[in-house]
């Protein structure tokens, strides 16, 4: 009898042969600038922990205190018996921080997109999506069963073309949703949200931005891309974000109108049917907001280090694409070259992972570096030196 799972090993071996498989390394301790990975002391240079908050004393203290007062779990989903005062306070504080009417916290960023998008649009609607949007957006759009259109990456002119074409079908489309990443996670460029929002307003379309990599990075005090462009909430109806990157903890969220949050409370299944955040997680997220509001030096430090790193890499002749943010790709082309570069860097004590197909195009494999505000000047020089030595040894520069 034929093994019905035989394809699993076959397809995995194909990934290995094409150098597009993931080999997980193990972090043995906190996500900190210098850490232990697979038994080696290395400088972390690829985490999403932009501001170094994952190991910040105020977050750790808040988490420990919450365990003592609230335990380690909520005991249920929020609509039934798992809605704690910590969850409500977190949403109140987040909305205030984001300068929105209301916010809603999900279990993860992926759960936010996959759970909310299919409720905002469905059959008879149209979703217009940037061609390089994150996989969680793509999955959410697929689940919606709405008609889909794609516009060229970061191109408002092409978006306007798609909207004009959609206008020809009105009133057949009930709703139109434009959706984009705020900061694109593989290239570090910023969506032209100001122009996207204006086009949405002109054509009566909703605008949804996934700002997972913009929060804590862009805008006043790290408030994100809506703040960065100074946009009003009537132009960007859904601002999605995450606590698992610059905030240093875990979880997704949306901010916008009270009506948006009331709607999501009652319709978004990933929120309705998933256990709520453990008390220490909610408390640590609250502490992260406190830090962003009172310790502005972390965001300023992040950008200072970012500018210096980009300048050095360009000076060596590395291809860093069109990055505008602390995400700096070092593009080398073929997947094996990216893996070789990563191994060479690791051998020098710098941890920076390769990003290969299908996460990026086959000829755009890269090392994706992400700056961390907790790095010292010596740490930055160490990383720059490691890239220079590896680049010359592999004839990349």
Give the start-to-end residue ranges of the domains of the chain. 12-44+296-393, 57-294
Write the DSSP symbol of residue 221. Answer: G
Write the DSSP symbol of residue 70. Answer: H
**Per-residue pLDDT at 271:** 95
Q: Which of 114, 185, 244, 268 is catalytic?
A: 185
For the sheet containing 238-242, what is the strand order?
Answer: 102-106, 252-256, 238-242, 206-210, 176-181, 126-130, 147-151
Mean pLDDT of the chain: 95
CB 27 within 8 A of CB 35: yes
pLDDT digits (tens, 9 = 90+) for 258-286: 999 999 999 999 999 999 999 999 999 99
Our answer to whether residue 185 is catalytic in this structure is yes
Fold of 57-294: 3.40.640
**Per-residue pLDDT at 358:** 82
**Per-residue pLDDT at 105:** 98
Which residue from 216, 376, 211 is spatially nearest to 296, judged by alpha carbons? 216
**Per-residue pLDDT at 171:** 66
Rg of the chain, C-alpha, whole Å: 22
Mean pLDDT of the 238-249 span: 97
Residue 203 confidence (pLDDT) above 90: yes
Q: Which of 245, 277, 298, 364 is catalytic?
A: 245
pLDDT digits (tens, 9 = 90+) for 314-351: 999 999 999 999 999 999 999 899 999 999 999 999 99
Q: 12-44+296-393 in CATH: which number?
A: 3.90.1150.10
Q: Which of 87, 213, 339, 364 is catalytic?
A: 213
Give the span between the Cα atoms of 78 and 87, in whole angstroms: 9
Our answer to whether residue 395 is catalytic in this structure is no
């Amino acid at each position: 009898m034929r093994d019905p799972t035989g394809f699993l090993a076959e397809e995995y071996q194909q990934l290995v042969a094409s150098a597009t498989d993931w080999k997980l390394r193990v972090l043995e301790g906190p996500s900190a600038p210098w850490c232990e990975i697979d038994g080696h002391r290395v400088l972390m240079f690829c985490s999403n922990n932009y501001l170094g908050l994952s190991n910040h004393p105020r977050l750790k203290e808040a988490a420990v205190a919450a365990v003592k007062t609230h335990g380690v779990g909520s005991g249920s989903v929020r609509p039934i018996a798992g809605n704690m005062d910590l969850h409500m306070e977190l949403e109140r504080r987040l909305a205030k921080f984001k300068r929105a009417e209301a916010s809603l916290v999900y279990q993860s960023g992926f759960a936010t997109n996959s759970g909310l998008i299919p409720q905002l649009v469905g059959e008879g609607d149209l979703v217009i999506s940037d061609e390089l949007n994150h996989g969680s957006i793509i999955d959410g759009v697929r689940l919606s069963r709405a008609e889909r259109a794609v516009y060229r990456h970061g191109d408002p002119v092409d978006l306007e073309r798609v909207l004009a074409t959609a206008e020809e079908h009105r009133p057949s489309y009930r709703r139109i949703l434009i959706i984009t990443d705020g900061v694109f996670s593989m290239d570090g460029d910023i969506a032209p949200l100001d122009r996207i929002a204006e086009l949405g307003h002109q054509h009566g379309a909703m605008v949804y931005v996934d700002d997972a990599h913009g929060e804590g990075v862009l805008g006043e005090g790290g408030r994100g891309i809506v703040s960065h462009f100074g946009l009003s909430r009537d132009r960007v109806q859904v601002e999605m974000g995450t606590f698992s990157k610059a905030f240093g903890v875990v979880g997704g969220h949306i901010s916008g109108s009270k009506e948006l949050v009331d709607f999501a409370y009652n319709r978004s299944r990933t929120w309705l049917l998933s256990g709520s955040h453990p008390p220490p997680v909610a408390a640590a997220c609250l502490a992260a907001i406190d830090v962003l509001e009172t310790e502005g030096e972390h965001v300023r430090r992040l950008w200072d280090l970012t500018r210096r790193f980009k300048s050095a890499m360009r000076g060596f002749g590395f291809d860093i694409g069109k990055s505008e943010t602390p995400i700096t790709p070092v593009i080398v082309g073929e997947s094996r070259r990216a893996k070789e570069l990563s191994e060479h860097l690791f051998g020098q004590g710098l941890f920076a992972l390769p990003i290969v197909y299908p996460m990026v195009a086959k000829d755009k494999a890269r090392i994706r570096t992400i700056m961390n505000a907790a790095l010292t000047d010596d740490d930055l020089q160490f990383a720059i030196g490691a890239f220079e030595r590896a680049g010359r040894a592999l004839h990349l520069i």
